[in-house]
Chain A
């Protein structure tokens, strides 16, 4: 059974600082990995999708890396803003289903 772990569980940084969010998974036989953002009481917004054959994906201030062999992914958010405050979830797809981590709750202080 796939287990997905996200560290840290919570993170508070001043505005402008770079954010580093970590995700690890136990079964490396994944099709892809997806990072999501969730605002309180809301659904999920897809941020980045990394295929298993890729090493990283970038979108604006966001960059996600994937090391499938070691079962790790890292989401970098450059120059954080208060609007980046949310919970960030990573999910891996294998065995025809998505397995989620518990998320990292980020607070960016103005």
Chain B
């Protein structure tokens, strides 16, 4: 299957600072990428849909000024958590590939464990 690389895998930051997470599709072009958040023992919650060359679409309840998404190329989307607080600590996962119709699957990155202290 296709490879999606997410970096960093773990990050610890101080409260009030910003953190950038990268999501790259290594062997295919992705016009659309998705960002999820996962709390312990809970399901993945879609945060936003990242579209290359246009603004991201955020799910209800997700603060777009806090979670900045940039999808500047067909292989890279970034999520920046601005002015991070301890409640932002979570597991963030990106995916690429739109599983709509055909046999297109969603491929996921390795995830990023964010801890805000």
Contact = CB atoms under 8 A, between A and B. Distances in A.
Interface of A: 4, 31-32, 34, 36, 41-46, 49, 51, 89, 91, 93, 96-103
Interface of B: 1, 6, 34, 41-44, 46, 49, 91, 93, 95, 98-101, 103, 105-111, 113
22 contacts: A31-B99, A31-B100, A31-B101, A34-B106, A41-B111, A42-B111, A43-B108, A43-B109, A44-B93, A44-B108, A46-B105, A46-B106, A46-B107, A89-B43, A89-B44, A93-B106, A97-B34, A98-B44, A98-B46, A100-B44, A102-B41, A102-B43
Main secondary structure of the interface of A (DSSP, over half): strand
A83 B39 CA distance: 24
Nearest to B45: A100
A31 B110 CA distance: 25
Nearest to B112: A43
In the complex, the 4 A-B pairs of residues with the closest C-beta atoms, listed nearest first:
A44-B108, A43-B110, A100-B43, A102-B43
A49 B108 contact: no
Contacts of B100: 31, 93, 96
A63 to B, nearest CB: 18
Contacts of B106: 34, 46, 91, 93, 98
